[in-house]
Amino acid sequence: MTPPRGFPEAEFRDRTDRAQALMAKAGLSALLLTTEPEVRYYTGFLTRFWESPTRPWFVVIPASGAPIAVIPSIGAHLMGQTWLDDIRTWQAPDYDDDGIGLLAETLQEVTPPDARIGVADQMESHLRMPLADFQTLKQSLGARRITGDATITRRLRMVKSRAELAKITCAAQIADRAFDRVAEIARVGIPLARVFRDFQRLCLEGGADWVPYLAGASEAGGYGDVISPATEAPLAAGDVLMLDTGLVWDGYFCDFDRNFSLGAPSAAVTEGHGRLIEATQAGFQAAKPGARICELFHAMTDIVNPGGAGSDAGRLGHGVGMQLTEWPSIIAADKTVLAEGMVLTLEPGVTLPDGKIMVHEENIVIEAQGARFLSSPQDREIRVI
Amino acid sequence: MTPPRGFPEAEFRDRTDRAQALMAKAGLSALLLTTEPEVRYYTGFLTRFWESPTRPWFVVIPASGAPIAVIPSIGAHLMGQTWLDDIRTWQAPDYDDDGIGLLAETLQEVTPPDARIGVADQMESHLRMPLADFQTLKQSLGARRITGDATITRRLRMVKSRAELAKITCAAQIADRAFDRVAEIARVGIPLARVFRDFQRLCLEGGADWVPYLAGASEAGGYGDVISPATEAPLAAGDVLMLDTGLVWDGYFCDFDRNFSLGAPSAAVTEGHGRLIEATQAGFQAAKPGARICELFHAMTDIVNPGGAGSDAGRLGHGVGMQLTEWPSIIAADKTVLAEGMVLTLEPGVTLPDGKIMVHEENIVIEAQGARFLSSPQDREIRVI
């Protein structure tokens, strides 16, 4: 069943309230947001226009009250449909002052003269504005200081609301259906590039709003990496075809892959796939509220990489939601305590005897009693086309 | 005809040589690249994996010789297929040092102790790495100083090679064919969200690798903005349906839109569309080598916004290529001199008497004798469904 689009205003108020409580603890008088997921998380501003690098977009979360948008006028009409009332605009691009004067004024208006203003500065973040403009902004702020955001937005986003979970679930179900139809589009002799195009078509036919991410490969007995675009090389008997998609429904991603053997799989592929599923199940069993992310890592790596020194992938899964990949990473160093509402991918990889790799991925949500699959968990046996 | 994928190695060498000549003039000992188009421009590293914000990617252009990649090990296999030989990796994500130590070592190795190292810092750029890591990097570099990149990469990218032009042309032809099929998918009563999904499907069927950008609207007698995602509202008689797509073929975008009237258009819509086409043609006529971008702006704005104070869109077109929108912007302040090989969109907008807007967009390339359309230029009369 397709959930409703958007969120009730109460959800945005709640996110903002929780951020403001954490800001008070961290001694921050405001947050300055510059990236798509940050802006959307607090405002609901949903557009693919971020694909254009031309215009910066700013949202200020003051110590109390609703967020303030400081944005190019081209976005005023759409931002006007969100819960925000205070929308300040300039005609961008402006080669003399591309919003920095207006942003500085706004920050000065809503913060005390000795304010600390937080921007995301830790892993998985970046500042989406020109560096030279950031220098100008800092100079305009006088005694006010721009500092880290104490990972406030990252921490809030890690736990999904029911409405967010419904959207991710919808995305995962669309991907499940598309994977179930792969035999319609993939056969020996068809170029991989065509399979990629057709798989995206299946996702759209199944209800995806768009398909921001698709990677994969089709090579004899495994593949070399999991991030490659398609080539024109035709599928061949004995190939392992892997498709990994991050499709979006109403701004929320799923992220999982499926492996297919073109014809009967080799013993190495059969064994490898079995080990991937076993590792995924071990990660799933370990994923309970109160457990730590590193425990999921160890449960899986003991199976796919026993005694090993880690893999090129660098991790065995991650958060997923408004972005294809989100905090945390399933690595030995991650001590995050699992809590109800977290959505994760479990993504073990194996290296086969000949050096080829295989990767499997599922999506789960953490509930009171343990994990629940959002994608349809796969059998030990690799799918055969 | 579909051009070959990729580029000959000579093209990357040439781009690098030209960057290094400009670096010498600007007193830069190295460029540090952190974003997808920058990295791809010099290396050919093409992947949709940039959708994941987790991992930073670095490429260093030294004063001479080939670029050096400093990247997460998950990308080593794919980067190994480019012309680069020097590929340095770490297992990312690493919570203690996510590549900064390796990057600092590399920069120290290839630059003198008093080096100035350029990063993109002007409009349309951002630094794709965590701010805290950037601070650490700067501190690790001692007397070496990170400074602006003198817009070297932006300037080089503005003029397209023949191979780049072939890819953009291919993308534009795919979009043209998809727009010609809109009557198959758009009718009164069909929800706009379904039209969006089906239009992306048409683009894929026509050969698009993917469809990173689609925006549009369908409203009575015009629309409110040009950046909105689809709603579930059904198309109605009297609507103007606008679809604006940036689809990609082998890493290169086209970017143009089409307007459709559902049933006979009103007099205001007819007049507005005619004015848009007239303005586009005026921009096209003005687009010759040696002319300045501001002349294109004035040629178009005199028709769509005579005596006006500018529009919410903020510009009347822009560059297009590896990104949906690129330098320059067609605004009064832009003095860029047109040169052969530049690819631009002409994108005038009108405000109708009732406050609704309409926008039209075409793609052109600058050649020796003047501009040539890459998209099929539209008639004065709006298309009717």
Residue of chain B whose Cα is closest to the Cα of A210: B197
Average pLDDT, chain B: 97
Give the span between the Cα atoms of B55 and B133, in whole angstroms. 12
CA-nearest of B63, B58, B59 to B26 is B63
Angle at B243 between CA B242 and CA B244, to 5 degrees: 120
Instruction: Give A36-39's long-range contacts (Cβ < 8 A, gap of 24+).
Output: A36/A128, A37/A157, A37/A322, A37/A323, A38/A120, A38/A153
The verdict on whether omega for the bond into residue A93 sits within 30 degrees of 0, i.e. cis, is yes
CA-nearest of A189, A299, A203, A298 to A256 is A203
CA contacts within 13 A on the Cβ side of A382: 32
The beta-carbon neighbor of A200 closest among B77, B204, B311 is B204
When pLDDT is averaged across residues B179-184 and rounded to a whole number, the result is 98
B318/A94 Cβ within 8 A: no
Name the least confident of A220-234, A256-270, A314-328, B183-197.
A220-234
Question: Angle between the A192-205 and A162-180 helix axes, to the nearest 10 degrees?
Answer: 130
pLDDT at B188 (0 to 100): 97
pLDDT at B19 (0 to 100): 98
Q: Is B304 exposed, middle or buried (0-12, 13-18, 19+ CB in 10 A)?
A: buried
**CA distance to partner chain B, nearest, from residue A385 (Å):** 23
Contacts of B328 (CB under 8 A, 6+ apart): B158, B293, B318, B319, B334, B336
Give the span between the Cα atoms of B246 and B253, in whole angstroms. 6
The beta-carbon neighbor of A310 closest among B55, B91, B133 is B91
pLDDT over 70 (residue B53): yes
B200/A314 Cβ within 8 A: no
Query: What is the H or E stretch that residue A383 is in?
Result: strand A383-384
pLDDT at A87 (0 to 100): 98
Residue A240 forms beta bridges with which residues? A219, A261
DSSP, res A345: E
When pLDDT is averaged across residues A290-309 and rounded to a whole number, the result is 92
CA distances from B100 to B37, B45, B52, B133, B220 (A): 21, 21, 19, 7, 54
pLDDT at A113 (0 to 100): 97
**3 state DSSP class of A163:** helix
**CA distance to partner chain B, nearest, from residue A3 (Å):** 12
Residue of chain A whose Cα is closest to the Cα of B324: A52
Spatial contact of B55 and B72, defined as CB atoms under 8 Å apart: yes
| B contacts of A124 (beta carbons < 8 Å) | 53-54, 130
In chain A the first and final C-alpha atoms are separated, in Å, by 29
B213/A212 Cβ within 8 A: no
pLDDT in tens, A226-272: 898 899 999 999 999 999 999 999 999 999 999 999 999 999 999 99
The verdict on whether omega for the bond into residue B113 sits within 30 degrees of 0, i.e. cis, is no
**Site from A51, A100, A192, A213 to mutate, B interface, most B CB atoms within 10 angstroms:** A51
The amino acid present at A249, given as its one-letter code, is: W
The amino acid present at A232, given as its one-letter code, is: E
| B contacts of A211 (beta carbons < 8 Å) | 200, 210-211
pLDDT over 80 (residue B327): yes
Sign, CA dihedral A169-A173-A174-A179, equals positive
pLDDT in tens, A335-345: 999 999 999 99
Exposure string of B33-56, with b = 16+ CB inside 10 Å and e = fewer, is bbbbbbbbbbbbbbbbbbbbbbbb
The beta-carbon neighbor of A200 closest among B148, B210, B215 is B210
How would residue B309 be classed by pLDDT, with cut points 50, 70 and 90? Answer: low
pLDDT in tens, B78-123: 999 999 999 999 999 999 999 999 999 999 999 999 999 999 999 9
pLDDT at A310 (0 to 100): 67
pLDDT in tens, A32-79: 999 999 999 999 999 999 999 999 999 999 999 999 999 999 999 999
Residue of chain B whose Cα is closest to the Cα of A331: B93
**3 state DSSP class of A133:** helix
The beta-carbon neighbor of B76 closest among A98, A210, A312 is A312
Residue of chain A whose Cα is closest to the Cα of B320: A52
| Domains (range + CATH), chain B | 9-157 (3.40.350.10), 159-384 (3.90.230.10)
A232/B46 Cβ within 8 A: no
| A contacts of B225 (beta carbons < 8 Å) | 74-78
pLDDT at B110 (0 to 100): 98
CA-nearest of A259, A261, A262 to A349 is A259
pLDDT over 70 (residue B275): yes
Name the least confident of A3-12, A90-99, A198-207, A306-315.
A306-315
pLDDT in tens, B342-357: 999 999 999 999 999 9
pLDDT over 80 (residue B334): yes
Give the span between the Cα atoms of B129 and A323, in whole angstroms. 17
Spatial contact of A380 and A295, defined as CB atoms under 8 Å apart: no
Q: Is B82 exposed, middle or buried (0-12, 13-18, 19+ CB in 10 A)?
A: buried
Give the span between the Cα atoms of B231 and B217, in whole angstroms. 9
The residue to which tokens 């052109």 are assigned: B364
- Rg over CA atoms, chain A: 23
